[in-house]
């Protein structure tokens, strides 16, 4: 726990919940009659309501992006490295809104919420949600908060896809889009890894067709395997070599199936921790949202055409050792933006941290990110 | 099935079994009191017994490397692209021996064999075997076949590690070592993928602590997941893109968890087929043999020192898009061999086929491989 709250932290934060009664039409053809969205805000909305920044989370993320919920918290929010007073996303200048997406498992309406029609958890009956659906639900929150136009919509990985979709679907409501460690769509290999994770969950005997809540259990092993496989794709080969190499936990071989290498111990621990804190149905939904994401699909499979409607400025950042969404995937976005004449700033950050780099305190990354956001804040304040 | 046997095939092949009564001491400290080794041979051993080539198999391989077992076989042996009359490993000139390793599930003594002490399948009681152990067992087969020195020991992936170990442990008995799509040891990422596969099997309720034989079942889902994960690492991102891209099985999204993308269907099929044909305990043993392999370990962690004892010539081949054992891993071997002054021929083949490329009919690869083996055959015939 933090002895004291660090000076550059947004401090103790209380999540808020917004309830929506109007049905939300979803891309899958179904609708959510009503839903709750949980979110946090950091900083102050200015009089012109022009300094609001929306943070979109990734696969296993949520609304708690910065600060602490209590003095007992061992760790701050997931993007505390980037959000706070004087940080890249400077809460002295920005009003930051961080949301938990629909389908999530941290308070917003999702598979573990009660389905009003049945009085039981939605489970497998929860509708499939897409990046487009999330953006629409986020727009409703913006309306309620009186935010007509975001100074910036920013996200990493799956969050970057939401930022890109905002720029496409609500061009008048986004001044800047920050697309970090992301891709214009998943590759066959990306989908393949997601499918392994899903199969691990779906075939776990404790999954009970997604109604495990009623059996007072959950697909622990499936979640552990899903996270283990996911985690390998978040780290670079270099980072794993630097972190574990071939180090043995006890210094010698045991010729058995217990942990022998440190990397095995690390992965099992990551998987177990995750399985206790994340809902399996949500994990399934999030991986599908990733698989489905492909804005070009609605524009004759042309990313260029998809981005023609955008009017905002773009910040695109990739990381050299990210092999889940390699720099070349970011360059696809940048090249399409250049082709439609958008103002785009692109940086490829040299690091060994792999895909997870977007969460890490990397001086060059934070400096560059901060410089860009400084410009965004200046623009916002002159509105 | 082949209407007729192709002219460049070794034809119909009958596997043979050699029984060994002398105990085989293993690296784990235990011993196998007796064991069977199943093998196939192609071509004729010459009078000087100087034209014998040993083929070592990889993780899911076996002794059936070339030809057909019956006219009903749909496919020939796993390395039929490289072994046969006039092929890279020319059976008109070489006497080829292909073996199923101890711990395997295709006839050689392994976890599914009967443990003489219990009268039941070995299962989890089968000792852990290593590359060193396999090489020692292969040396015994060589003794029985009257082969004092191999014209070449050749293998891909885990098979290449056996070829390297032969050169280290039996320098007088190997004229050439062919190390293809291999590595001097696994990286943390390689071990991590193996660990995911093992956990999938070990946690499958049908694993029954490895004694599933007695329950008339097997860890089907675990094996499917293990193979799915493995298969992703055998194919390159490029190959997957070329083969599946983001093609949908039915042309549209279904917003459900059934197969939507072709790559999902392909992976599930690969996993299911494998689960019906491979023993889970053998899969566990093979992945551990991979994890443990590290010849430098016995030489102050110096690969150079490990290779000092070698006297044979080396052929090392890597493939540009192989990310399981990338070309840089082969270069570690080549650089160490150059440092100890060995005669080494190295080629990096440009292909999109990934790790599996060593099994594929790639003209440049087969031409280069054939040219090298031509030289090996000439040397063998002048002995």
List, as ranges, residues 19-38 from B with C-beta within 8 Å of A: 27-29
Q: Does B243 touch chain A (CB under 8 A)?
A: yes
**Cβ(A155)–Cβ(A162) below 8 Å:** yes
Q: Is B106 a catalytic residue?
A: no
Residues of B in contact with A189 (CB under 8 A): 232, 235, 237, 240-241
Q: What's the CA gap between A362 and A367, in Å, rounded?
A: 8
Q: What's the CA gap between A229 and B366, in Å, rounded?
A: 34
Q: What's the CA gap between A373 and A93, in Å, rounded?
A: 10
Residues of B in contact with A268 (CB under 8 A): 195, 199
Q: What's the CA gap between B75 and B61, in Å, rounded?
A: 14
CA distance, residue A240 to nearest chain B CA (Å): 6
Tokens of A32: 């959510």
Q: Which residues of chain B have pLDDT under 70?
A: 1-2, 383
Q: Does A240 touch chain B (CB under 8 A)?
A: yes
Q: Is A355 a catalytic residue?
A: yes
Buried b (16+ CB within 10 A) or exposed e, B34-60: ebebbbbbbbebbeebbbbbbbbbbbb
Helix (H) or strand (E) holding B196: helix B188-202
A31 strand-pairing partners: A25
Contact assignment for A232 to B189 by CB distance below 8 Å: yes
Tokens of B190: 């390689």
Q: Does A332 touch chain B (CB under 8 A)?
A: no
Which among B202, B228, B244 has CB closest to A199?
B228
Which among A127, A198, A225 has CB closest to B196?
A225
**Cβ(B61)–Cβ(B38) below 8 Å:** no
The residue of chain A with its CA nearest to that of B30 is: A255
Which among B192, B199, B294 has CB closest to A263?
B192
Q: For the packed helices A262-277 and B188-202, what is the interaxial angle rounded to 10 degrees?
A: 60
**Cβ(B213)–Cβ(B121) below 8 Å:** yes
The catalytically annotated residue of A113, A157, A236, A275 is A157
Beta strands B24-25 and B16-20, pairing class: unpaired
The residue of chain A with its CA nearest to that of B245 is: A188
Q: What's the CA gap between A265 and A284, in Å, rounded?
A: 25
Q: Does B267 touch chain A (CB under 8 A)?
A: yes
Q: What's the CA gap between A281 and A210, in Å, rounded?
A: 7
Which among B28, B127, B294 has CB closest to A246?
B294
Q: Does A195 touch chain B (CB under 8 A)?
A: yes
Contact assignment for B264 to A191 by CB distance below 8 Å: yes
Contact assignment for A240 to B189 by CB distance below 8 Å: yes
Q: Does B191 touch chain A (CB under 8 A)?
A: yes
CA distance, residue A241 to nearest chain B CA (Å): 6
pLDDT of the residue at A2: 62
Candidates A192, A283, A292: best to mutate against B (most CBs of B within 10 A) is A192
CA distance, residue A119 to nearest chain B CA (Å): 23
Q: For the packed helices B188-202 and A220-234, what is the interaxial angle rounded to 10 degrees?
A: 170
The answer to whether the predicted template modeling score (pTM) of the entire model surpasses 0.90 is yes
Q: Does B264 touch chain A (CB under 8 A)?
A: yes
Q: What's the CA gap between A173 and A184, in Å, rounded?
A: 21
pLDDT of the residue at B4: 85
Which among B187, B198, B243 has CB closest to A240?
B187
Tokens of A372: 């860009």
A42 strand-pairing partners: A96
Residues of B in contact with A237 (CB under 8 A): 187-189
**Cβ(A348)–Cβ(A319) below 8 Å:** yes
Residues of A in contact with B237 (CB under 8 A): 187-189
pLDDT of the residue at A250: 85
Contact assignment for B202 to A29 by CB distance below 8 Å: no
Which among A191, A257, A284 has CB closest to B261?
A191
Q: Which residues of chain A have pLDDT under 70?
A: 1-2
How confident is the model over B50-103, as pLDDT tens digits? 999 999 999 999 999 999 999 999 999 999 999 999 999 999 999 999 999 999
The catalytically annotated residue of A176, A322, A326, A330 is A322
How confident is the model over B110-148, as pLDDT tens digits? 999 999 999 999 999 999 999 999 999 999 999 999 999
Q: What's the CA gap between B111 and B286, in Å, rounded?
A: 11
Q: What's the CA gap between A300 and A288, in Å, rounded?
A: 22
Q: Is A137 a catalytic residue?
A: no
């Amino acid at each position: 726990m933090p002895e004291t709250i660090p000076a550059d932290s947004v401090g103790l934060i209380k999540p808020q919940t917004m309830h929506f009664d109007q049905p939300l039409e979803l891309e899958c053809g179904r609708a959510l009659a009503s839903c709750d969205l949980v979110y946090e805000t950091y900083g102050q909305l200015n009089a012109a309501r022009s300094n609001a920044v929306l943070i979109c989370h990734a696969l296993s993320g949520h609304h708690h992006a910065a600060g602490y919920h209590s003095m007992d918290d061992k760790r701050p929010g997931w993007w505390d490295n980037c959000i706070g007073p004087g940080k890249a996303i400077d809460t002295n200048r920005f009003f930051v809104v961080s949301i938990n997406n629909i389908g999530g498992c941290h308070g917003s309406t999702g598979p573990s919420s009660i389905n009003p029609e049945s009085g039981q958890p939605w489970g497998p009956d929860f509708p499939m949600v897409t990046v487009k659906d999330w953006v629409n639900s986020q727009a409703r929150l913006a309306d309620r908060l009186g935010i007509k136009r975001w100074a910036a919509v920013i996200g990493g990985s799956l969050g970057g896809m939401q930022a890109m979709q905002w720029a496409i679907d609500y061009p008048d409501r986004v001044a800047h889009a920050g697309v970090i460690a992301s891709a214009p769509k998943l590759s066959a290999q990306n989908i393949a890894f997601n499918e392994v994770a899903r199969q691990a969950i779906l075939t776990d005997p404790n999954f009970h067709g997604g109604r495990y809540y009623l059996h007072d259990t959950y697909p622990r092993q499936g979640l552990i395997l899903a996270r283990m496989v996911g985690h390998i794709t978040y780290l670079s080969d270099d980072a794993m070599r630097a972190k574990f190499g071939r180090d043995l936990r006890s210094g010698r071989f045991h010729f058995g199936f217990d942990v022998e290498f440190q990397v095995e111990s690390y992965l099992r621990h990551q998987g177990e921790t995750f399985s206790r804190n994340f809902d399996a149905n949500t994990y399934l939904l999030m991986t599908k949202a990733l698989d489905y994401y492909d804005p070009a699909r609605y524009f004759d499979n042309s990313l260029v055409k998809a981005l023609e409607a955008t009017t905002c400025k773009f910040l695109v950042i990739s990381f050299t050792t990210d092999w889940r969404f390699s720099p070349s995937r970011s360059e696809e976005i940048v090249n399409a933006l250049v082709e439609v004449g958008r103002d785009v700033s692109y940086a490829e950050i040299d690091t060994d941290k792999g895909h997870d780099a977007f969460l890490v305190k990397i001086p060059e990354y934070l400096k560059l990110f901060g410089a860009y956001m400084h410009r965004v804040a200046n623009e916002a304040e002159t509105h």
